[in-house]
Amino acid sequence: MWLIQLHVLFVLLSGFGFFMRGIGHLRGEAWVQKKLVRILPHIVDTGLLVTAIALLVTMEISPLTDWVLAKIIALLVYIFLGVMAFRVAKTIKAKALFWLAALIVFAYMFAVAKTYSVFPWIPAVAVG
């Protein structure tokens, strides 16, 4: 479905952008302070959220479904870690740790999306 593809496109843009900004910050690059670089993630993340909500509505999935709830909570944690990494943390070490933790949470959200499981690292047991 095109809406899922659009959602995944925003997901990939968001992840790639976050990864690149992290490298930029850790290397002290000037481009990370550019207005466009600071605004673009908000546009991408808004697209991500809008497509996510549109998917829930069109596919009639409750936001309280366990794997959806896991994604929503993980997204809030990801945003929090991103703010810590790029705004609050002052030392390179702290920035790197928050950035890495956010990337792990991102990978978790991806795995949850692919497996529809809150614990994607546990293999599904076939029933019947």
Binding site for ligand HEM (CB under 6 A): 4, 7-8, 11, 52, 55-56, 59, 61, 68, 71-72, 75, 106, 109-110, 113-114
Q: Under 8 Å CB-to-CB from 58, ≥6 apart: which residues?
A: 3
Least gap, CB of 24 to ligand HEM (angstroms) = 20
Whichever of 86 and 106 has its CB closer to ligand HEM, that residue is 106
State the minimum distance, in angstroms, from the CB of residue 56 to ligand HEM: 5
Nearer to ligand HEM among residue 44 and residue 113 (C-beta): 113
Give me the long-range contacts of 26-33 (CB less than 8 A, separation at least 24): 26/92, 26/95, 26/96, 26/99, 32/86
CB 90 within 8 A of CB 84: no
* Cα gap 13→31, rounded to integer Å: 18
- Give min distance, CB of 33 to ligand HEM, in A: 25
